[in-house]
Amino acid sequence: QPKCIGDAALESRPDTALRYIFSSNNRIHVTGDAGVRVGNPSQVFGKLRARHTTDFDRWELRLTETVRWYSIDGFTETSGMRWSRPLTYIWLLQTSSDVKWDERSNGVTPSQTLSFYRTLSKRQAYRWTIGGIWPETPHTTEAVYTIEHAYRRLVYGDWLFMEFRPAIQFPQADNFEPHPMFTFLFHAVFGDMD
């Protein structure tokens, strides 16, 4: 969910954790994590996440609730709603709405994204996304709008991915002047990370 890309980069700091699955089936999935977030400073953290999925004809609705605690940053809570619908056998439409509460902030931070995914082959796909984030609603003065294109490719086995993400942000704090950005990532996926 493209929010401010700088914030997304901060949130992608490496974590080392153990996960316990309390419940897992096609509709309900509840997990708990405990570990260490590496950074400056490093922090101990705990996370509890619940997900409920329901199908409506060709639409899938996913509701999520996540509570996190970090030893320095404190508590955050995020409520999310995601609708997904295949448009053809190679195109997928997805829209996500999230509201985040952070004990260090005054108010909540809603965000909204609209994404189109296209499968190119079994090894590669791309995504177009437009989104917005409105920090500390109802007193927001620093909204950020983003247009992003992501290209993802499987580069080794079925677990190592490479991703390129060129994007343009339009921050309210800079009178919506465009800020081009580029992110290059490697993802290693072991087991079911959904």
Q: Convert the pLDDT of each residue in 141-168 to its tens digit.
A: 889 999 999 999 999 988 899 999 999 9
Nearest to 68 by CA among 100, 98, 97: 100
More confidently predicted of 189 and 132: 132
Average pLDDT, the chain: 88
Name 124's bridge partners. 153
Query: Is the pLDDT confidence value at 10 over 80?
Result: no
Are the C-beta atoms of 131 and 143 separated by less than 8 Å? no
Query: Is the pLDDT confidence value at 14 over 60?
Result: no
pLDDT grade, residue 9 (50/70/90)? very low
Query: Is the pLDDT confidence value at 2 over 90?
Result: no
Please report how many Cα atoms fall inside a 13 Å half-sphere around the Cα of residue 8, on the Cβ side.
Answer: 18
Name 15's bridge partners. 37
Please tell me the pTM assigned to this model. Answer: 0.81
What pLDDT is attached to residue 191? 62
Give the position of tokens 């053809």.
Answer: 88
CA distance linking residue 18 with residue 25, whole number of Å: 20
pLDDT grade, residue 77 (50/70/90)? very high
More confidently predicted of 90 and 10: 90
What pLDDT is attached to residue 1? 37
Give, as one character, the DSSP assignment of residue 8: H
